[in-house]
Structure 1
Amino acid sequence: MNKYILSVLLIFISSSSGISYANDFKLKSTDLTNGEIMDKKLEFNGFGCTGENKSPQLSWTGAPHNTKAYAIMAYDPDAPSGSGWWHWQVVNIPVEITSLASGNGKLNDKGIINIVNDFGDTGFGGACPPVGHGIHRYQFTIYALSKKLELPANASGALTGYMVKAHSLASSTIEALYKR
């Protein structure tokens, strides 16, 4: 059998077997829109910011069939820190969970790990760019993981990011904006 026929046959078999591919994995939100300014309720409350510090509503679909857990990361690459700013990192979300309500920024289910954000707290920390610093990008990403992660209790944002990306089967991002 020639390679072309074999390739077509493999594509047909996999597409009819219910296998989900990385480009099928989609993150959605009723609180975030790609390229749009976030609502003040998603602003941090502290460090000079006066928002409600509410995490956004998130939902996702189309994870690869061999997904074992999820991770959510929210990151500001424009923070004037030299390394960006981690606003939220949570790993080992069970595969049965495919949505989070607004304001549910610290998950307490068994096995879930909430990483300390760059504000020094676990769970979600809202947008808080310096006044007059211009528009910042906030990248909210869901990752489908090939396994549950083993992380030390004091895992840094960098270590968590490394482990999540090393075991990611697929990801989807919404990049929202904010300025003060």
Structure 2
Amino acid sequence: MSAKDNPTLTIRSECIDSEGRFRTDFTGRGKDISPELGLDGLVPGTRTLAVTLEDLTHPLFGSMAHWLAWNIPPGDSIPAAIEPGRVNPSTGITQGTAYGWHRYRGPKPPRGKTHTYRFTVYALDCDLRLPSRTRLAGFKQAIEGHVLQQATLEGTYE
């Protein structure tokens, strides 16, 4: 089964306001905490979830990962304030290397510059056995053929 064969997955979150801008608490200029990401339409049979946050307008790299987490238990949401670290012993959530850290790093573009950021949530048919040093490219390669659904949510921050 592939993502194309399944119903639509949608993400909802209060981290982005009605005008499509990140709320400061979820940025590098605020509390820099990972937001709750509510999920609607998650297909039965999802074994784990994964999430990425990418800066789509980075001036040097074009796209830059700010967060990479996998082996998230499936449910109605991805919880807020996931603790920093490689592997959370109580949940099994693994955080890869994004923005140089094993944690959520919210938007923080240079002052006066507006960047666009995208969350992507993946519903997977497996647990991922990846080292925590894994970066975005390795993650994307590892999930090929295992994505049941995916959804995105974009916002901007200045």
Give TM-score scaled by structure 2 length: 0.83
Which of 90, 108, 127 is the aligned partner of 1:128? 108
1:68 aligns with 2:47: yes
- With a CA cutoff of 8 Å and minimum separation of 6, indicate the structure with the bigger relative contact order: 2
Q: Which residue of 2 aligns with 1:113?
A: 94
Equivalent pairs counted in the alignment come to 151
Q: Mark the CA change 1:121 to 1:60 in structure 2 (over 3 Å): closer, same or farther.
A: same
Q: Is the 8 A contact 2:55 2:63 kept in 1?
A: yes
1:99 alignment partner AA: S
Q: Which residue of 2 aligns with 1:21?
A: 6
Q: Is the 8 A contact 1:138 1:176 kept in 2?
A: yes
SS of the counterpart of 1:77? strand
Identity in percent: 26
SS of the counterpart of 2:139? helix
> Structure 1 regions of 5+ residues with no counterpart?
1-19, 45-49
Higher Cα Rg: structure 1 or 2? 1
Alignment of 1:81-160 (within 5 A): 81-95=60-74, 97-104=75-82, 106=84, 108=88, 109-118=90-99, 120-133=100-113, 135-160=114-139
CA distance in 1, matches of 2:83, 2:156: 19
Which of 20, 29, 47 is the aligned partner of 1:36? 20
Higher strand share: 2
CA distance in 2, matches of 1:150, 1:34: 37
CA deviation profile, 1:65-100 (whole Å, cap 9, x unmatched):
2211100111111012324111111101122x4324
Q: Which residue of 2 aligns with 1:171?
A: 150
Q: Is the 8 A contact 1:29 1:59 kept in 2?
A: yes
1:51 aligns with 2:45: no
1:127 alignment partner AA: P
Give TM-score scaled by structure 1 length: 0.74
* 1:131 shift after superposition: 2.1
**Which 4+ stretches in 1 moved above 6 angstroms?**
none
* 1:105 shift after superposition: 5.4
SS of the counterpart of 2:39? strand
